[in-house]
């Protein structure tokens, strides 16, 4: 067995799941995207496990972590609290963080809250802003898949959502890829391995959020519950070494956003992954080589 499986308790009592690969003093924490789970990092975690203790989590509401009865807690601030609780539970004083999409936003928040605990940050195809068209595309499918009657239908659902990021893949690929984010329900039919309320929370943010954003634009409020309202402020807190993995055809992380990120933080390294959109799988040779060099250089 290449990894061990564990659960821990969040501060509000949820049972949350993580995988551990390898061992040692140098830890790498892997944080997945909005509708994904810990299985996304399996190939990379196995690759790194000979040199690092790799921890890959299921964020609350995904995979084998418990679902929250209050969808308002499906937000980056809460997810970051859970991540700190896990590091404390494992008595890990510092770690490198690899964050895909939502996981990258979490890494930015962590960099601001406890910078001394982050040795370095890898942002996988995410920046401090996302073009509105990309947001609308993600909201169109997150938590909205119709029930699939069999694994063939489930594979087609996933292909429809992700082929923009992974073009020209054969159907055999999608039959395997769907297993990363679907599971069999009690009736033996495949369903997304996440709480549908996560998509609803994304599409229906609390009404107070617009009011807070309005106050932020006027300079009256910068943070709420320890989290910057403007993600650019969180990104500017990433003063530790940082690698940005950029899908060359991504609609989430555009060339313009990458350029502005480098202007704001000139120390950020960038690797462009050809033929990949949002988000690279992190098994691509370019991504693996860049992550290896980055982590070994910390």
For the chain, percent of residues with pLDDT exceeding 90: 85
- Flag whether 22 is in a domain: yes
- Flag whether 217 is in a domain: no
- Flag whether 244 is in a domain: yes
- Flag whether 77 is in a domain: yes
Q: Which residues contact 79 (CB under 8 A, 6 or more apart)?
A: 31, 59, 60, 102, 106
- Give the pLDDT band of residue 220 (cuts 50, 70, 90): confident
Overall number of domains in the chain: 1
Residue 68 · residue 61 · CB < 8 Å: yes
CATH code of 17's domain: 3.40.50.1820
- Whether pLDDT at 1 is above 60: no
Angle at 93 between CA 29 and CA 246, to 5 degrees: 30
Residue 277 · residue 100 · CB < 8 Å: no
- Flag whether 58 is in a domain: yes
- Flag whether 203 is in a domain: no
24-38, 124-138, 170-184, 193-207: least confident range: 193-207
The pLDDT tens digits for 158-180 are 999 999 999 999 999 999 999 99
CA distances from residue 92 to 10, 82, 243 in whole angstroms, order as listed? 16, 14, 22
- Whether pLDDT at 213 is above 90: no
The whole-model pTM stands at: 0.96
Neighbouring CB atoms inside 10 A of 100's CB total 27
Helix, strand, coil % in the chain, rounded to nearest 5? 40, 20, 40
The pLDDT tens digits for 39-53 are 999 999 999 999 999
The pLDDT tens digits for 70-102 are 999 999 999 999 999 999 999 999 999 999 999
CA distances from residue 117 to 57, 95, 295 in whole angstroms, order as listed? 18, 6, 15
* pLDDT at 225 (0 to 100): 86
Whole domain around residue 41: which residue ranges? 4-131+226-296
CA distance 154 to 160: 10
Q: How far is CA 283 from its chain centroid?
A: 16
- Flag whether 185 is in a domain: no
- Flag whether 10 is in a domain: yes
């Amino acid at each position: 067995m290449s990894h061990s499986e564990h659960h821990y308790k969040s501060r509000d009592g949820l049972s949350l799941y993580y995988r551990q690969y390898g061992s040692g003093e140098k830890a790498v924490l892997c944080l997945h995207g909005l509708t994904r789970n810990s299985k996304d990092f399996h190939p990379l975690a196995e690759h790194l496990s000979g040199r690092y203790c790799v921890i890959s989590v299921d964020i609350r509401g995904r995979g084998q972590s418990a679902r929250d009865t209050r969808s308002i807690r499906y937000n980056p601030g809460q997810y970051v609290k859970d991540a700190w609780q896990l590091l404390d539970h494992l008595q890990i004083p510092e770690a490198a963080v690899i964050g895909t999409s939502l996981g990258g936003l979490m890494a930015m928040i962590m960099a601001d809250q406890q910078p001394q605990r982050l040795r370095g940050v890898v942002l996988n195809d995410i920046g401090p802003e996302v073009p509105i068209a990309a947001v609308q595309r993600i909201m169109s499918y997150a938590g909205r898949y119709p029930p699939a009657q069999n694994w063939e239908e489930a594979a087609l659902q996933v292909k429809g959502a992700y082929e923009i990021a992974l073009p020209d893949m054969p159907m055999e690929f999608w039959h395997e890829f769907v297993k990363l984010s679907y599971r069999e329900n009690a009736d033996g039919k495949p369903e997304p391995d996440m709480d549908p309320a996560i998509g609803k929370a994304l599409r229906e943010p609390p009404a107070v959020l617009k009011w807070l954003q309005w106050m932020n634009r006027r300079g009256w409020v910068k943070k709420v519950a320890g989290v910057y309202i403007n993600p650019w402020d969180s990104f500017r807190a990433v003063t530790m070494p940082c690698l940005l993995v950029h899908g060359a055809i991504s609609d989430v992380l555009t060339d313009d956003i990458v350029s502005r990120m480098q202007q704001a933080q000139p120390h950020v390294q960038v690797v462009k992954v050809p033929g990949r959109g949002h988000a690279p799988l992190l098994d691509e040779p370019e991504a693996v080589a860049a992550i290896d060099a980055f982590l070994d250089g910390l």
